[in-house]
């Protein structure tokens, strides 16, 4: 007698992903330092950055092969996920990437 073939799906625990930062802590890090570099493979942080850029809280710049920066508009960021990025504080007054920390993280001379 032939038994019917059964489909068995093995449920495995998911591999531990790298620690994902909450968007609020991402904003705190960027606003304190002025800017933050992201590697090309950090998809979770880039996804959070795209949402924060849509709200106007961040400026996203793509790092090109020659090291120059190209500012990404709101619709372009999703297409540039394969390149490194630099996230910067927007220029509310003055210049892009000026930190809010007032140098509090620097050692006194």
- Burial pattern 16-36, b for ≥16 Cβ within 10 A else e, equals eeeeeeebeebbeebbebebb
* 45 belongs to a structural domain: yes
Confidence band of 21 (pLDDT split at 50, 70, 90):
low
**Closest by Cα among 85, 91, 82 to 26:** 85
pLDDT tens figures, 41-99: 998 899 999 999 999 889 999 999 999 999 999 889 888 899 999 999 988 766 777 77
Domain extent, residue 58, equals 23-88
* 14 belongs to a structural domain: no
> What is the total count of domains within the chain?
1
* 99 belongs to a structural domain: no
């Amino acid at each position: 007698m032939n038994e019917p073939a059964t489909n068995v799906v093995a449920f495995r625990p998911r591999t531990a992903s790298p620690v994902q930062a909450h968007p609020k802590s991402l904003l705190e890090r960027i606003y304190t330092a002025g800017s933050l570099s992201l590697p090309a493979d950090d998809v979770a942080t880039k996804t959070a950055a795209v949402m924060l850029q849509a709200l106007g809280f961040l400026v996203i710049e793509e790092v090109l092969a020659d090291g120059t920066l190209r500012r990404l508009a709101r619709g372009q960021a999703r297409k540039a996920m394969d390149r490194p990025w630099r996230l910067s504080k927007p220029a509310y007054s003055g210049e892009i990437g000026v930190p809010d920390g007032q140098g509090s993280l620097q050692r006194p001379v």
